[in-house]
Amino acid sequence: MQLRLKLILMATIPVGVALICMGITTRHQTMSLANEERKLVEAAYLHSKETELRHYVELARSTIERIAESSDASDTDLQKKAMHVVARMKFGDDGYFFLYDQHGQLLVNPEQMAVANVDLCDPNTPSGQTQAKLILDMAKAGGGLVRYEWHKPSSQILAPKLGYVLQVPVWNWVVGTGLYLDDVQETLARIDEHAKNNIAATQRRIYLIAALCMVLIASAGVLLNLKDHRISSVKLRRLAQRVVHSQEEERARVARDLHDGVVQVLVSSKFLLETAQLQQQYAAPQDGVAPNGKALDQGLARLNDALTEIRRVSHGLRPALLDDLGLPAALALLSEQMCKGGATHVRFGPCSEAQPIPNTHATALYRVAQEAVKNACTHANACDVLVSLRIDPRSIALVVQDNGQGFDIQRVLADGNRGIGLRNMRERIEALDGQFSISASRLGTRIVATLPLHAEAGNDTALPHSRFDSSYAPA
């Protein structure tokens, strides 16, 4: 695994884990706060309900006591009047009062009550026996709150109910009423739903922040990678240029050594042998036998061959015309030399006047032309090769076109043992921010190498004679 990927993972994983832990903690804390709020709301509601019920029941008990204290009727009539008044008392939509005597029997008739569809807790029926027992037991204990479930008059559904009961000492009655708690449950349900929505919204924000953090970290990694890649590409390009420059300098040094050293020795040796040959020709014969000059002739012939080969190698390493007269002249000489002793006709197209060519550009294009012409003559079995050079103020383009048999570009490049020359040509051109293209078919191969001039012309020393007179090109 790459170091940069490890650093990105080391940065993203802790952030992701921290955000997940933050989300879990936030959810836990929010739920805890929601539960606390729910308990507080429920306690507040129940306290208000309890206070409200106590007031209602005390009001009913005081009403009964005032009726009982009046002396204008018999006790039975007063009790009937009290039962009628209590039956007609109501509050809210579903609020009513109930009365039990000292034996636990219902005293209020549901049909006479102000609230319709009332079902009282009758101890004589199976459905109301348990609730009636709770109410009577609480009243005997001094009164208080009673919780049970009962049918709500307005909806006829079973709902939780909070009742409050008190004793009426004057007749030993039990009076009470109740409030249904379904509205409290709905309020608590809304609180729970609101808490869940808040938790979900908070988690979405946390996940969005996490995603943004991941994107920022990934973007920073990508930018860093691109920046490093760009810097590495620039360094590699400079290194390639230095390598090529070093190769050219070494070739120039070897060419100078061959020309100034070995060639001079061979030339002086040739002069000495020629002098000896002339002296032998004009020497008087001894004993009537003329001296044999065959060995000297063979030595001179071998020496001429050695001089020709060394000059060819010296010019191939670093042609003097490239430094003296410029790229067009060197390409013209290359075309002329490749035509000698071969079946391939190499032509160099005339080149128009243009601005000076940088030394690095001229060297790279010359090497590309050298390799391309050599491949056309050696591997493509071409009969005709055209080398042309197009120069304008912004770029210079070298085109090598042959009529050979062509080749499969992809297969040659995929073969590790072949295509080295093509890769070298491409690398030379791309190292100078140029473009290299090659197309091949049965009709021939076309190589185009283009280099920019506007960016490099001021950074490199141009060849002293880059402009070429077309009259120098071989016919």
Per residue in 212-266, pLDDT tens? Answer: 877 887 777 778 777 877 887 777 777 777 776 777 677 676 766 666 666 676 7
Query: Which of these three, 165, 180, 195, is where a domain ends?
Result: 180
C-alpha closest to that of 468 among 296, 334, 269, 274? 334
What rounded mean pLDDT belongs to the chain?
79
**Confidence at residue 468, expressed as pLDDT on a 0 to 100 scale:** 40
> What pLDDT is attached to residue 128?
85
- The last residue of one of the domains, among 160, 180, 200, is 180
Is residue 302 domain-resident? no
Helices 294-317/263-282 angle, 10° precision: 160
* CATH number of the domain enclosing 446: 3.30.565.10
Tens of pLDDT, residue by residue over 71-122, are 677 888 888 888 889 888 888 888 899 999 888 888 888 878 888 888 888 8
Q: Which domain holds residue 65?
A: 3-180
What is the separation, in whole angstroms, between the first and last Cα of the chain?
61
Residue 264 lies in a domain: no
pLDDT value for 70:
78
Tokens coding 285: 């014969």
In a domain, 294, yes or no: no
Looking at residue 319, its pLDDT comes to 67
- What dihedral do alpha carbons 268, 271, 276, 279 form, nearest 10°? -140
What is the C-alpha to C-alpha distance for residues 454 and 300, in angstroms, rounded to an integer? Answer: 52
Using left for φ > 0, alpha for ψ between -120 and 50, and beta otherwise, residue 326 falls in left
Q: Are strands 384-391 and 345-348 parallel, antiparallel or unpaired?
A: parallel
Distant-in-sequence, close-in-space partners of 317: CB < 8 Å, separation ≥ 6: 251, 252, 254, 255, 258
Domain assignment present for residue 341? The answer is yes
Residues 448/397, Cβ–Cβ less than 8 Å: yes
Pick from 136, 152, 180: which residue ends a domain?
Answer: 180
> Any idea what the CATH number is for the domain that residue 175 is in?
3.30.450.20
210 is a domain residue: no
Query: How many domains does the chain contain in total?
Result: 2
58 lies in a domain? Answer: yes
Using the CB atoms, write b or e for 148-162: b if 16+ within 10 Å.
bebbbbeeeeebebb
Domain membership flag for residue 160: yes
Q: Which residues contact 449 (CB under 8 A, 6 or more apart)?
A: 364, 365, 368, 397, 398, 425, 429, 434, 435, 436
In a domain, 196, yes or no: no
* Low-confidence spans in the chain with pLDDT less than 70: 1-5, 7-8, 11, 71, 244, 248, 251, 253, 255-263, 265, 283-295, 311-321, 341-342, 352-355, 416-417, 419, 454-475
